[in-house]
């Protein structure tokens, strides 16, 4: 596996953040500013310890097509995800800026080193890329491709992120992408960049964008972890 990328597209990030700040009202801005942006960890991950720590993750993330019960959505694929992003995501669940009771309970017990180890192990798994579960029509996918153009700076035109701190979306299950975008829209996920990006999206646009990224080959299920 290649060395973790620390490249940050400064101009793109600055533009997005400034746009995000300008679009937030006073209350929302105060809420966003109260939580500093999460960054990849400097800890070097231990793959073998990460493998041990992910034993409990396999019960959900290691089963193809597994669904979260309530609300109902497909549990996200982790295989092929960026190591830096995995660290950021786990830190978000740990501090509660990402809303999911089970994931918060799991991540709350992790140290920074644990998170680095888990991310290193998951990122070390290599398998063939897959498309996600969707069931969307070709028309919906085409509409999603057009609307996903604004996502390309961070997530790539086809859902493969150009820098490691952003998540790959290609091949992710559509229902999970829908869930994530809805959470950014309603504030259940706290993120100064994604909140204003998701705010103007209606339900149909969210479904179409999710359908497009799910149709692209990319992430895969880490069966058995």
**pTM here?**
0.85
- With contact defined as beta carbons under 8 Å apart, do 171 and 131 qualify? yes
What tokens appear for 40 in the block?
């990849």
Mean pLDDT, all residues of the chain:
89
In angstroms, what is the C-alpha Rg of the chain? 17
CB 213 within 8 A of CB 159: yes
Rama region for 221: left / alpha / beta (φ>0; ψ in -120 to 50; rest): beta
How many residues are given for the chain?
Answer: 225
Say which CATH class 10-214 falls into. Answer: mainly alpha
82, 120 Cβ separation under 8 angstroms? no
> What confidence tens digit (pLDDT) does each residue in 157-186 have?
999 999 999 999 999 999 999 999 999 999
* Model confidence at 9: pLDDT above 80: no
- Whether 159 and 168 have beta carbons less than 8 Å apart is answered as yes
Quick: pLDDT tens for 15-68.
444 444 444 444 444 454 567 899 999 999 999 999 999 999 999 999 999 999
Q: What is the pLDDT of residues 97-133, one digit of tens each?
A: 999 999 999 999 999 999 999 999 999 999 999 999 9
**Spatial separation of the C-alpha atoms in residues 71 and 84, rounded to whole Å:** 27
Instruction: Find all residues with CB under 8 Å of 61, minimum gap 6, and list them.
Output: 75, 76, 77, 78, 221, 222, 225
The structural domains of the chain, with segments of one domain joined by +, span: 10-214
């Amino acid at each position: 596996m290649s060395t973790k990328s620390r490249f940050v597209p400064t101009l793109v990030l600055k533009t997005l953040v400034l746009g995000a700040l300008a679009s937030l009202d006073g209350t929302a801005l105060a809420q966003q500013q109260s939580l500093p942006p999460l960054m990849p960890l400097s800890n070097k991950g231990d793959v073998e310890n990460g493998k041990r720590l992910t034993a409990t993750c396999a019960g959900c993330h290691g089963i193809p097509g597994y669904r979260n019960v309530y609300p109902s959505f497909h549990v996200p694929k982790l295989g092929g995800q960026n190591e830096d992003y995995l660290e950021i995501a786990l830190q978000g669940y740990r501090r509660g800026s990402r809303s999911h009771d089970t994931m918060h309970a799991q991540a709350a017990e992790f140290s920074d080193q644990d998170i680095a180890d888990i991310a290193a192990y998951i990122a070390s798994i290599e398998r063939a890329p897959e498309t996600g579960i969707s069931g969307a029509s070709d028309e919906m996918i085409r509409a999603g491709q057009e609307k996903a153009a604004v996502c390309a700076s961070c997530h790539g035109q086809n859902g493969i992120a150009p820098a490691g701190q952003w998540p790959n979306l290609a091949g992710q299950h559509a229902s999970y992408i829908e869930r994530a975008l809805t959470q950014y829209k309603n504030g259940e996920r706290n993120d100064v960049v994604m909140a204003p990006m998701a705010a103007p999206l209606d339900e149909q646009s969210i479904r179409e964008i999710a359908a497009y990224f799910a149709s692209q080959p990319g992430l895969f299920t880490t069966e058995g972890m």
